[in-house]
Amino acid sequence: MRELGERWFRLLGDGEDEDFVCSPAGLWLALGAVAAGARGGTAAELRALLGVSGEEAAGAVTGAARAIAGTDAVAVATRVWSRVPVYRAYREALPDVGFGQLDPDEIDAWVKEATGGQIEKLPVTIQDDTLLALVNALALKARWGTPFASHLTRLAPFTDAAGTVHQVPTMHRQLSRSEAWTVGTATVVELCCAAEPGSGAPARVRFVLGAPGAGPAEVLPAAWAPLHACGPLDADVVSLALPRLELRTTVDVTPQLPAFGVLRATSPDADFSGLSPEPLAISKVVQETVIKVAELGVEAAAVTVVLARPGGAPRPQRTVRLAFDRPFGVVVLDGSGEVPLFAAWQANAPAGEPIPGTAGQQGLLPPPWPPVPPPPGPARGFSPAPAPGGTRRSPSHPPSAPPSH
């Protein structure tokens, strides 16, 4: 997930004077769940991006989602809505993923509930040709372990990426030296959230201040730098001034996929044959993310959606020509399929009747039911044999008269 994040930051940070908020974890989980149904070259491309694909991706996605959900105050959920069949094996490989019929209103309601109302609806429109929607939701609502005193919040200068100075509401508090460190030219501050008794470990929120002019691709990865790359601040007291912030971004990831090396998944050559018997190709990957930081705590949510449309032409059916052109056997079984009523072995050239319909010949089977009533009197050129007891019986299916020439 961190490697995916670093690659994504380079794409999102092309315009370094633009704000953004994103969820690398949400994107990885959504693409990973789709990758669980990928095969062939499509799976290879997704594996190069995510580290997993195909059948192994299902276990990795399940394990990662459960680990994330173990963080206190974090909720994670994934669901698939579909207009096409989804293989049982795919569903069973992702036991924590829900499945249902494609219904845009139902999806919007699920998004709102899964994010605690932070995101109101799906950030993309379901089209008529949309066959499947896979949606991941991540949400966090947590209080700071040590809140900011609201009476200390006041206007302070903030210089934006273009060099313009603004006066913005800024929170203030003192930090312990263990809550701040350096990574190269960047400074990292960690604020821990409060955890409920008996719950998992609290979320750690890290703020990273880079050198002047540094962009997101350089600055953000310092938040997860290894311990050996971290150094102490040369100070006895750390006084923090942190602006309140609220960011919301909707990112269309689809045009970024080629930069990630994902080409087949969106093409007619896409192979998601481990997900559905219907040919599918990714049509859209979109993520909406929001984050709010204030005196009492932090809230964040992300919804990542992968839409699939019809893929290439259905694969040609595999045909096996089975010609009984050498000795073969025939067995007639009873209704249970266990008792051999008749058995035959054809070793020599078969001496069957000519093909039904050949001029002058009559097939073995009677005409379709119901039978045509016989004409009155004996058929021309046909005298039924006497039945036991001396009476004559008309055949139920007299043969047709010979064709006239």
At residue 364, the pLDDT reads 46
* Encoded tokens for 330: 């025939």
21 and 132 inside one domain = yes
173 and 234 inside one domain = yes
Q: Domain end: 227, 243, 259, which one?
A: 243
Residue 326 lies in a domain: no
At residue 252, the pLDDT reads 96
Domain tally for the chain? 2
Mean pLDDT of 214-230: 89
How far are the Cα atoms of 136, 329, 335, 336 from residue 340, in angstroms, in the given order?
56, 12, 10, 10
Q: Domain end: 243, 275, 293, which one?
A: 243
Residue 385 lies in a domain: no
Q: Give the confidence band of 382 by pLDDT, cuts at 50, 70, 90.
A: very low
Contact between residue 201 and residue 193 where contact means Cβ atoms under 8 Å apart: no
CATH number at residue 192: 2.30.39.10
The more confident residue out of 339 and 10 is 10
Contact between residue 122 and residue 115 where contact means Cβ atoms under 8 Å apart: no
114 and 185 inside one domain = no
pLDDT at 12 over 90: no
- Structural domain of 224: 150-243
Tell me the pTM: 0.77
Count of residues in the chain? 405
Instruction: Specify the 3-state DSSP secondary structure of 250.
Output: strand
Residue 280 lies in a domain: yes
108 and 35 inside one domain = yes
pLDDT at 32 over 60: yes
15 and 121 inside one domain = yes
Residues 381 and 403: their CA atoms lie apart, in Å, by 13
Quote the DSSP letter at residue 377: S
pLDDT at 16 over 60: no
